[in-house]
């Protein structure tokens, strides 16, 4: 999100889900939408039926390809080359939106110079996508009246993830597909409340509402409401904390509702880091793999046992309501935090969920116009600054929060670890339809587990033939960081030289293999590309 | 706009509106079994028949577009008899096992039989029998209860764009099935279950868990991906027994397999029920009271802060927790611990 915030002054999905079905063109890159955002995908399919053209750019032949006018199979980690080349074509053909560029953007000339070398021929060599298809994609996207871009972790989980995001934003700016209905740059959020937890600033650089901790005026505002000093030093990101645990400078960690042991790249490294802590507190609904390492485990309430709000991927704030009581002595997270705080001598003064909601709204104007009563029926999209504001389904109408949006010249940077003789395959990771994240919730469902019970590695037919591997054979997959054994699924969903493993399964955890190389700006790890070798086990 | 008269009342509606939709704007209750406003008109069940002035035979309101000057009658003795006969036909080979049917009390066919007082049936005869049980883990398919309205087939094709099932065979032998009558093997979104007007399609996960008696309904938001689908939790005596979704929401009532069927974790016996503490290094995690657990955390956090400074502590929050909890968590770290070492794993 750091990427979009830099470009526009706000980092979130620009347009709403309902608008998807009225797009004229959809560019879906690095998002397996039908499996990871099934309900957004329904709108995409509807758009296609209404005549919209879908362009899918993905190393895997994902289910959405069936509905696409064009599918580009780029090599993992080569998105910038593909995007830059599409923009090269758009400029060559004169399909850019000159008025939009002139009136609403800055930095165009430097950007234009940066894409000059990305001819379709050059990009074909890097990405493996035929140059004719690059030209076709550029024309479809740029000549549509209303075109939206949709992406997820396939764009961001790279060591150059922020560059990828800049590049996606450049494409939308170049064609003026911003600030209007059914257009935009739309990162689809992978978890129910990613947007909300970002907004609420469980982040080391910002206070709630993306107000910088280094900004004295912002700190003063929070201090006056909180009645305590707010630290001005930027904190560590999750991935930096892992490093600090290894070097011993981070002594204690309090984890609320996460299972980083399974979800973070390079699992061996994460385990060592957590074990090196002096004191680990984990608060969760189950004894997760991470909780098993804790010194204290606190039992929390699930979503069905508490009141509050979630903010979905389209910035819509919606009510979560309590249906049943939590089991045993489990408490909701809000109450646990307040009790602990009181024990440590400070009353957070957040006695009910709505107290916390209203306090956040008093400190962040985008939420100021919302109350539980106002969002009761269908929620509201932020920004919603006043009590009579209808909310904002799409952003940037007329202007950007920072005035003009900024083009960023983006060079092509290779992934940190590429295949070589020893590790000849590229491994990319993701989810499957019937499981979710580390499986804490879905793997406890008999039905879901029955249809997706075990890990597998997708191997291209030609590669499998060379290695003498058939579907259901046990295969050992090895990277520089570890080895797992799992069943092979031979099909042409992945291209030659590429393998895919879902990361849900602890018994064959993909993140034992993945690389924890970081993006230099937002410190996201490179879960989507690393080098592995395969062997029949 | 098109002007017409329905049951003596004048109404003006946009061109292309169906007679059924126009009548519903007037709050007139025309019965339907195969109609769903989210699907294309089908005209299969023949219950929505109405009379048009100047047209000799009744027409289906769901497939008839309005025309200027149309005079529509939605209720008459003849219409009543025709509708009643249609329902009687549907019931003539229906297993009357409402006593044990999952959908009793929430079944359109049962409601219609009730309103039309259909206890006896002039057409009792041969029954369809489908003994084969579908082994898929999500959806129970009792095809002898199917009235062939094809809503499931249409939602699977029109909305989900999967096409896992279709109508096969003809006449009395007609049935809905996957290709070659194999077991269902699809995305298991359960959209078909959600639109089925009878007990033909139900969720195996909520079988015999409760129908309506003592059920509490709670409107909330799905805990899985970022779509933010609105769901309704059905709970009985502190157990969540089923998930459904209303039509007038951002997800239009549609859900995926996780959202619709993946709620079992809430009631699992291995949920954490008390705080756990490791009382000695490398010892086991043992149950403790809240007082002991919070006391230990408080003293360890304070000790580490005193010795190494506030930046020796860090917090990781969750994209699965509420806004309010995330707000409180960062406020706690910034005010009580005194550090900005706080992040969540999906910030990107």
Query: B216-221 and A147-151: which strand pairing?
Result: unpaired
Provide the domain limits for residue B25: 2-75
- Residues 6+ away with beta carbon under 8 Å from B99: none
Asked if the C-beta of A381 comes within 8 angstroms of chain B's C-beta atoms, the answer is: no
Determine, yes or no, domain membership for B122.
Answer: no
**In this predicted structure, what is the pLDDT of residue B248?**
93
Type and span of the H or E element at A163: helix A161-174
Closest CA to A537 of A466, A502, A488: A488
Calculate how close chain B gets to A308, using CA atoms only, in Å: 6
Q: Please name the member of A228, A250, A281 whose beta carbon is closest to the beta carbon of B335.
A: A228
Which CATH number goes with the domain that contains B61?
3.10.20.740
Q: Which residue has the higher pLDDT, B344 or A98?
A: A98
Residue A104, φ and ψ in degrees, nearest 5: -120, 0
**In this predicted structure, what is the pLDDT of residue A3?**
77
Chain A residues within 8 A of B291 when measuring between CB atoms? none
**In this predicted structure, what is the pLDDT of residue B72?**
98
**In this predicted structure, what is the pLDDT of residue B348?**
41
Chain A residues within 8 A of B224 when measuring between CB atoms? 191-192, 436, 441
Chain B residues within 8 A of A436 when measuring between CB atoms? 224-225, 258, 262
- Residues 6+ away with beta carbon under 8 Å from A363: A207, A208, A209, A211, A221, A222, A225
Calculate how close chain A gets to B206, using CA atoms only, in Å: 11
Tell me if ipTM is over 0.85: yes
Asked if the C-beta of A356 comes within 8 angstroms of chain B's C-beta atoms, the answer is: yes
Chain B residues within 8 A of A284 when measuring between CB atoms? 272
Q: Cβ A244–B331 below 8 Å, yes or no?
A: no
Between A and B, how many CB-CB pairs are < 8 A? Answer: 461
Q: Which residue of B has its CA nearest to A208?
A: B327
Determine, yes or no, domain membership for B23.
Answer: yes
Q: Cβ A334–B325 below 8 Å, yes or no?
A: yes
Cα A302 to Cα B233: distance, rounded to the nearest angstrom: 13
Q: Which residue of A has its CA nearest to B317?
A: A256
Residue A305, φ and ψ in degrees, nearest 5: -115, 20
Contact B48, B30 (CB under 8 A): yes
Residues in chain A predicted with pLDDT less than 70, given as ranges, are 1-2
Chain B residues within 8 A of A327 when measuring between CB atoms? 271-273
Asked whether the bond before A383 is cis by omega within 30 degrees of 0, the reply is: yes
Best residue in B238, B294, B343 to probe A by mutation, most A CBs within 10 Å?
Answer: B343
Q: Cβ B278–A260 below 8 Å, yes or no?
A: no
Calculate how close chain A gets to B154, using CA atoms only, in Å: 14
Q: Please name the member of A34, A236, A300 whose beta carbon is closest to the beta carbon of B341.
A: A236
Determine, yes or no, domain membership for B244.
Answer: no
Percent of chain A with pLDDT over 90: 82
Name the domain boundary from B75, B102, B120. B75
Domain count across chain B:
2
B346 pLDDT band (50/70/90 cuts)? Answer: low
Percent of chain B with pLDDT over 70: 99
Greatest C-alpha distance within chain A = 68
Determine, yes or no, domain membership for B219.
Answer: no
**In this predicted structure, what is the pLDDT of residue A1?**
52
The structural domains of chain A, ordered by start, are 2-188 (3.40.228.10), 189-235+300-389 (3.40.50.740), 237-299 (3.40.50.740), 425-536 (2.40.40.20)
Asked if the C-beta of A439 comes within 8 angstroms of chain B's C-beta atoms, the answer is: no
Chain A residues within 8 A of B325 when measuring between CB atoms? 256, 308, 332-334, 337, 356
Asked if the C-beta of A454 comes within 8 angstroms of chain B's C-beta atoms, the answer is: no
Distances, alpha carbon B133 to alpha carbons A69, A242, A489, B142, B264, in Å: 39, 51, 29, 8, 23
Quick one: average pLDDT of B132-156? 95
Q: Which residue of A has its CA nearest to B215?
A: A323
Render pLDDT for B267-326 as a digit per residue (tens, 0 to 9): 999 999 999 999 988 899 999 999 999 999 999 999 999 999 999 999 999 989 999 999
Residue A67, φ and ψ in degrees, nearest 5: -100, 5
Render pLDDT for B123-141 as a digit per residue (tens, 0 to 9): 998 888 888 889 999 999 9
Q: In the β-sheet with B59-60, what is the strand arrangement from edge to edge?
A: B9-13, B2-6, B71-73, B49-52, B59-60
B347 pLDDT band (50/70/90 cuts)? Answer: very low
**In this predicted structure, what is the pLDDT of residue B304?**
98
Percent of chain B with pLDDT over 90: 93
Q: Please name the member of A39, A153, A341 whose beta carbon is closest to the beta carbon of B251.
A: A39
Other C-beta atoms lying within 10 Å of the C-beta of residue B214: 9
Calculate how close chain B gets to A227, using CA atoms only, in Å: 8
Q: Which residue of B has its CA nearest to A234?
A: B340
Asked if the C-beta of A268 comes within 8 angstroms of chain B's C-beta atoms, the answer is: no
Q: Which residue of A has its CA nearest to B324?
A: A356
Name the domain boundary from B52, B75, B98. B75
- Residues 6+ away with beta carbon under 8 Å from A30: A57, A58, A79, A151, A152, A153, A154, A155, A156, A164, A528
**In this predicted structure, what is the pLDDT of residue A112?**
96
Determine, yes or no, domain membership for B264.
Answer: no
Calculate how close chain B gets to A195, using CA atoms only, in Å: 8
Chain B residues within 8 A of A251 when measuring between CB atoms? 304, 308, 312-313
Q: Cβ A235–B342 below 8 Å, yes or no?
A: yes
Closest CA to B222 of A19, A300, A304, A40: A304
Q: Cβ A448–B216 below 8 Å, yes or no?
A: no
Chain A residues within 8 A of B327 when measuring between CB atoms? 200-201, 208, 350, 356-357, 359-360
Chain A residues within 8 A of B207 when measuring between CB atoms? none
Closest CA to A35 of A153, A167, A160, A146: A153
Encoded tokens for A475? 């295969």
Name the domain boundary from B47, B75, B103. B75
Chain A residues within 8 A of B160 when measuring between CB atoms? 42, 45
**In this predicted structure, what is the pLDDT of residue B144?**
93
Chain B residues within 8 A of A235 when measuring between CB atoms? 311, 314, 339-343
Cα B255 to Cα B192: distance, rounded to the nearest angstrom: 11
Contact A514, A479 (CB under 8 A): yes
Cα A22 to Cα A358: distance, rounded to the nearest angstrom: 35
Q: Cβ B316–A241 below 8 Å, yes or no?
A: yes
Q: A148 has which bridge partners?
A: A26, A184
**In this predicted structure, what is the pLDDT of residue A440?**
84
Q: Please name the member of A207, A286, A321 whose beta carbon is closest to the beta carbon of B220.
A: A321
């Amino acid at each position: 999100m750091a990427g979009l915030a830099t470009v526009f002054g706000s980092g979130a999905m620009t347009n709403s889900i309902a608008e998807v079905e009225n797009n004229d063109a959809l560019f879906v890159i690095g998002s397996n939408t039908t499996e990871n955002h099934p309900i957004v995908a329904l709108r995409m399919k509807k758009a296609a039926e209404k005549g919209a053209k879908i362009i899918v750019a993905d190393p895997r032949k994902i289910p959405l390809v069936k509905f696409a006018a064009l599918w580009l199979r780029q090599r993992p980690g080569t998105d910038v080359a593909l995007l830059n080349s599409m923009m090269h074509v758009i400029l060559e053909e004169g399909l850019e939106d000159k008025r939009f560029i002139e009136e609403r953007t800055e930095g165009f000339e430097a950007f234009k110079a940066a894409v000059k070398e990305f001819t379709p021929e050059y990009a074909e060599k890097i990405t493996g996508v035929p140059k004719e298809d690059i030209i076709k994609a550029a024309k479809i996207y740029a000549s549509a009246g209303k075109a939206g871009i949709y992406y997820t972790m396939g764009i961001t989980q790279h060591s150059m993830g922020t560059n990828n995001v800049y590049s996606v934003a450049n494409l939308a700016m170049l064609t003026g597909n911003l600030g209007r209905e059914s257009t935009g740059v739309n990162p689809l959020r992978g978890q129910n409340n990613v947007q909300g937890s970002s907004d609420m600033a469980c982040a080391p650089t910002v206070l709630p509402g993306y107000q910088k901790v280094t900004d004295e005026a912002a700190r003063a505002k929070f201090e006056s409401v909180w009645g305590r000093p707010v630290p001005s030093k930027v904190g560590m990101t999750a991935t930096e904390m892992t490093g600090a645990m290894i070097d011993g400078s981070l002594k204690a960690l309090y984890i609320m509702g996460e299972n980083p042991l399974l979800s973070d790249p390079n699992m061996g490294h994460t385990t060592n880091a957590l074990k090196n802590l002096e004191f680990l507190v984990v608060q969760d609904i189950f004894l997760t793999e991470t909780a098993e390492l804790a010194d204290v485990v606190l039992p929390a309430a699930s979503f069905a046992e508490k009141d509050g709000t979630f903010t979905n991927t389209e910035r819509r704030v919606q009510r979560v309501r309590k249906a049943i009581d939590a089991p045993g002595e489990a408490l909701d997270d809000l109450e646990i935090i307040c009790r602990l705080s009181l024990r440590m001598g400070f009353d957070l003064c957040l006695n009910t969920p709505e107290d916390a909601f209203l306090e956040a709204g008093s400190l962040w104007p985008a939420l100021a116009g919302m109350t539980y009563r106002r969002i009761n029926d269908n929620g509201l999209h932020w920004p919603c600054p006043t009590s009579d504001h209808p909310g904002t389904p799409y952003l940037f109408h007329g202007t950007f929060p920072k005035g003009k949006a900024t083009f960023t010249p983006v060079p092509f940077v290779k992934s940190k670890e590429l295949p070589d003789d020893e590790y000849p395959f590229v491994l990319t990771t993701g989810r499957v339809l019937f499981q979710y994240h580390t499986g804490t919730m879905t793997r406890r469902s008999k039905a879901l587990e029955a249809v997706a019970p075990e890990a597998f590695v997708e191997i291209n037919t030609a590669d499998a033939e060379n290695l003498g591997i058939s579907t259901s054979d046990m295969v050992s997959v090895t990277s520089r960081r570890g080895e797992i054994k799992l069943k092979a699924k031979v099909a042409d969903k992945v291209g030659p030289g590429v393998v895919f493993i879902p990361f849900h399964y602890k018994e064959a955890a993909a993140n034992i293999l993945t690389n924890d190389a970081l993006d230099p700006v937002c410190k996201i790890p490179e879960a989507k590309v690393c080098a592995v070798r395969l062997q029949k086990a | 706009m098109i002007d017409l008269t329905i049951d003596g009342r004048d109404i003006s509606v946009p061109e292309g509106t169906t007679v059924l939709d126009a009548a519903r704007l007037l709050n007139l209750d025309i019965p339907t079994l195969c109609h769903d406003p989210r699907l294309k008109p089908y005209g299969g069940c023949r219950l929505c028949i109405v009379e048009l002035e100047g047209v000799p035979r009744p027409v289906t309101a769901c497939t008839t577009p309005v025309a200027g000057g149309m005079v529509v009658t939605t209720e008459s003795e003849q219409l009543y008899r025709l509708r009643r006969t249609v329902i009687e036909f549907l019931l003539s080979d229906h297993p009357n096992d409402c006593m044990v049917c999952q959908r009793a009390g929430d079944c359109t066919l049962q409601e219609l039989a009730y309103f039309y007082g259909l206890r006896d049936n002039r057409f009792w005869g041969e029954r369809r029998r489908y003994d084969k049980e579908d082994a898929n883990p999500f959806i129970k398919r009792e095809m002898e209860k199917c009235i062939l309205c094809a809503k499931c087939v249409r939602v699977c094709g029109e909305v989900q764009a999967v096409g896992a099932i279709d109508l096969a065979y003809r006449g009395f032998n007609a049935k809905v099935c996957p290709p070659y009558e194999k077991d269902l093997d699809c995305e298991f979104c359960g959209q078909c279950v959600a639109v089925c007007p009878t007990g033909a399609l139900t969720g195996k996960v909520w079988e015999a868990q409760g129908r309506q008696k003592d059920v509490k309904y709670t409107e909330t938001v799905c805990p899985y991906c970022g779509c933010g689908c609105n769901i309704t939790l059905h709970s009985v005596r502190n157990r969540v027994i089923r998930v459904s979704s209303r039509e007038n929401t951002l997800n239009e009532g549609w859900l995926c397999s996780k959202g619709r069927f993946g709620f079992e974790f809430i009631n699992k016996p291995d949920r954490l029920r008390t705080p756990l503490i490791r009382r000695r290094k490398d010892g086991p995690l043992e149950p403790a009271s809240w007082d002991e657990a919070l006391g230990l955390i408080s003293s360890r956090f304070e000790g580490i802060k005193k010795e190494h400074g506030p930046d020796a502590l860090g917090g990781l929050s969750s994209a699965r927790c509420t806004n309010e909890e995330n707000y409180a968590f960062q406020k706690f770290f910034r005010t009580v611990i005194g550090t900005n070492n706080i992040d969540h794993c999906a910030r990107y």
